[in-house]
Structure 1
Amino acid sequence: MPSSALAHPPRWLNAVQLHPAPAPLQRDWLFGQDSLTRRLTALSAGRFTVQPLVQGWQSLRQDECLALQVPSGSQGWVREVFLQGDGDNWVFARSVAARAALEGSGLDLGKLGSRSLGELLFSDRAFARGELQVCRYPAAWLPAEVRTEQLWGRRSCFRRDGLGVLVAEVFLPAFWERAAQA
């Protein structure tokens, strides 16, 4: 669903702009600079999996075009997955890259399958991660089976040369239950 269909698109905020601040556990996960894949793998004692949901060329949402600094309505590669721990959906992740920048970049997002994009981005030192931003992610943008209001989401843009890969991660209720137990 395009962001224009939302009455109130989300405001993505950095750690300084976010008031009131989330609880310490939430703040740690929302603004942690290390690989989310590695943290989820540790939290699940190695029982971490990636379940692909959607991937292919689509029109990017307005907020994604702004973040990637591409014209409104640009085409891009969209990949949506569940990051799972112990077989539970812990995080919904949506990664996008503008078609014009992706083609010829040498990065083939279509071949990731059930591998983690985050692991690829963190292992390639040519990618620089931009600032983490958070919002209460719109329920309308979530898959039906996890559609819930007011879930925390975060995003950052990984850049290499002219390529930007915007990665958004939405923490689902089952994740917070497990994180609180750890």
Structure 2
Amino acid sequence: MTEFKSLYLSALRLAQWKHPDKSVFENTEKGAWLLEHGSMTERLKHHCKELSVTVLGISQCERDDLTEAEKALLNDEACVVRDVVLAGDGVPWVCARTLMPLSTLTDQEQDIAELGSVPLGQRVFTHATARRDAIEVTSLTIENQQLDARRSRLWLNEKPMLVSEIFLRDAPIYNVEGALDGTH
């Protein structure tokens, strides 16, 4: 799991996010994945018998460690950081990093930082107030492979979280439009 921390999570932190060009993604299977406004957990579950979560780490990030873009999307405050890998039938599909402002983790939402192997989407999207916005995308080159990634803000009871996800090479996002050809 050290590989995920050094390669994928580092890439997510350094990614150059951009607003998606709807004309490029609209009406494509890849676009349906990247622009998903609902639960990515549910979308992934449709492609496997068992979706599992491995927690790579939970830490605290001081507000000075956030980028200006992260501060703009969240409250300008310290966050709990949850790094995970989601795997379908034991195959790693998504490496994700979630920033949860401390003010988000109050009242009914205080358990979110302690989900363990429960997927975040499973917890968030069971609530009527859950929504996703501010979707941004990028393509990252890691070990000579182009991998798609997205960042979005989740809201639960009007409290924000920022989720960055990189779709690993065996993720179903790449299988929907044909076989992998080495770059996709």
Matched, 1:102 2:88: no
Deviation string, structure 1 residues 38-97 (Cα, Å, up to 9, x no partner): 1111111x2211111111212353032232142xxx421100110101101100011111
Q: Cα 1:13–1:22, aligned 2, differ >3 Å: closer, same or farther? A: farther
Q: Secondary structure at the match of 1:174?
A: coil
Deviation string, structure 1 residues 73-129 (Cα, Å, up to 9, x no partner): x42110011010110110001111122x13434312232010011111111112332
Matched, 1:111 2:99: no
Residue 164 of structure 1, CA deviation: 0.8
Q: Which amino acid aligns with 1:92?
A: C
Q: Which residue of 2 aligns with 1:61?
A: 66
Contact residue 75 and residue 101 of structure 2 kept, 8 A: no
Q: Which residue of 2 aligns with 1:153?
A: 149
Aligned length: 163
Q: Cα 1:155–1:105, aligned 2, differ >3 Å: closer, same or farther? A: farther
Deviation string, structure 1 residues 129-168 (Cα, Å, up to 9, x no partner): 21321123586xxxxxxx7764211121122455211111
Matched, 1:166 2:167: no
Please, what TM-score do these two structures have when normalized by structure 2?
0.73
Matched, 1:36 2:44: no
Q: Cα 1:58–1:31, aligned 2, differ >3 Å: closer, same or farther? A: same
Q: Which amino acid aligns with 2:104?
A: L
Please, what TM-score do these two structures have when normalized by structure 1?
0.74
Matches within 5 A, 1:14-93: 14-16=19-21, 24-44=28-48, 46-59=49-62, 60-62=65-67, 63-70=69-76, 74-93=77-96
Gaps of at least 5 residues in structure 2 are 1-5, 180-184
* Alpha-carbon RMSD: 3.0
What is the identity percentage for the equivalent residue pairs of Structure 1 and Structure 2?
Answer: 25
Gaps of at least 5 residues in structure 1 are 140-146
